[in-house]
């Protein structure tokens, strides 16, 4: 089991033990786990993510980036996804993952993706490959929130990486440069909030989405049955309009949650399991 990927385990269970297993999900390491195990600060966790084996390389960023790229990203893409799933265009899958890492926590239309990817095929192929990346706990394309399922699937996805290490390992800024760049650091913070929700909320009970309408947007929308929460991230990045007021007019029963300088402190948010934040 220690040498098996999540996709390999799931394939084996569905083939040989149908109806006779219970799945225990082990998500990426949280801030509290990295803090307790390695003394990680919040800023370190936001940059280096939650891969415990990589903690010993934090003092040498280039070696850490090489470790994450070679030992983790390449292994998951080449062995887990490409060998266990039918992928007609493996190069496109890799390029799509790299595109997601370059645009963390950003809304990117499928047409814009098609314009930046070679041999991209069509939007259906891209949506399918995003689903494959999500099944490997690498990246997700969050759907647009809507009460109608058709509109929800038709909207542009918001790209979220499940671990910030996947972003920093493929980006050029060092830890110090990332901290000094408010725009890039804001993306890391916002992506980490989305990853915290994805890692901590069971998909059988919760849906994590985003919302945008005519220039106004809400970073994340959490839905559990009839209950809806609108999550706005305040990371100090300027020029970002908030759509909370407009969203609450659109969805009056929703409950707002501001994370960051003007609301719940980032440390408190990341220390709190999402099921507690969005429980009954």
pLDDT tens, residue order, the chain (280 aa):
455 566 555 655 555 555 666 667 788 999 999 999 999 999 999 999 999 989 999 999 999 999 999 998 988 887 777 766 678 888 888 899 999 999 999 999 988 888 888 666 778 888 989 998 998 899 999 999 987 555 555 679 999 999 999 999 998 889 999 999 999 999 999 999 999 999 999 998 999 999 998 888 999 999 999 999 999 998 765 555 568 999 999 899 999 999 998 799 999 999 999 999 998 6
Domain range summary for the chain, segments of one domain joined by +? 6-203
Cβ-based neighbour number of residue 78 at 10 Å = 12
Helix (H, G, I), strand (E, B) or coil at 232: strand
Selection from 68, 265, 22 nearest residue 171 by Cα: 68
Residues 6+ away with beta carbon under 8 Å from 177: none
Q: How far apart are the first and last CA of the chain?
A: 35
Selection from 131, 133, 102, 278 nearest residue 193 by Cα: 278
Full 3-state SS string of 63-92: HHHHHHHHHHHHHHHHHHHHHHCCCCCHHH
Global pTM? 0.89
Which helix or strand (DSSP H or E) is residue 34 part of?
A: helix 31-38
Long-range contacts of 178-185 (CB under 8 A, 24+ apart): 178/47, 179/43, 179/47, 182/236, 182/237, 182/238, 183/237, 185/46, 185/235, 185/236, 185/237
Selection from 274, 271, 278 nearest residue 30 by Cα: 271
Could you tell me if 218 and 246 are in contact, meaning their C-beta atoms sit under 8 angstroms apart?
A: no
């Amino acid at each position: 089991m220690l040498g098996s990927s999540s996709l390999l385990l799931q394939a084996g269970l569905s083939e040989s033990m149908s109806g006779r297993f219970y799945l225990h999900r082990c998500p990426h390491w949280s801030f509290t786990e990295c803090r307790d195990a390695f003394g990680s600060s919040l800023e370190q966790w936001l940059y280096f993510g939650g891969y415990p084996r990589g903690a010993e390389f934090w003092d040498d960023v280039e070696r850490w980036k090489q470790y994450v790229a070679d030992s983790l990203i390449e292994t998951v893409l080449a062995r887990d996804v490409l060998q266990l799933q039918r992928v007609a265009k493996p190069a496109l899958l890799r390029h799509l993952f790299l595109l997601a890492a370059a645009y963390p926590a950003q809304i990117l239309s499928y047409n814009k993706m098609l314009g930046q990817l070679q041999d991209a095929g069509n939007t259906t192929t891209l949506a399918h490959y995003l689903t494959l990346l999500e099944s490997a706990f690498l990246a997700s394309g969050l759907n647009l929130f809507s009460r109608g399922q058709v509109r929800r699937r038709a909207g542009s996805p918001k790209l979220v990486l499940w671990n910030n290490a996947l972003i920093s390992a493929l980006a050029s800024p060092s830890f110090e440069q990332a901290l000094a760049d408010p725009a890039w650091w804001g993306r890391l913070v916002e992506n980490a909030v989305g990853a915290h929700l994805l890692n901590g909320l069971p998909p059988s009970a919760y849906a994590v989405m985003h919302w945008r309408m005519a220039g106004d947007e809400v970073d994340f929308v959490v839905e559990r049955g009839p209950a809806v929460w609108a999550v706005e991230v305040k990371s100090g990045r300027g020029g970002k309009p908030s759509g909370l007021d407009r969203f609450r007019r659109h969805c009056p029963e929703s409950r707002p949650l501001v994370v960051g300088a003007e609301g719940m402190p980032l440390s408190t948010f990341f220390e709190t399991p999402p099921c507690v934040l969005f429980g009954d």
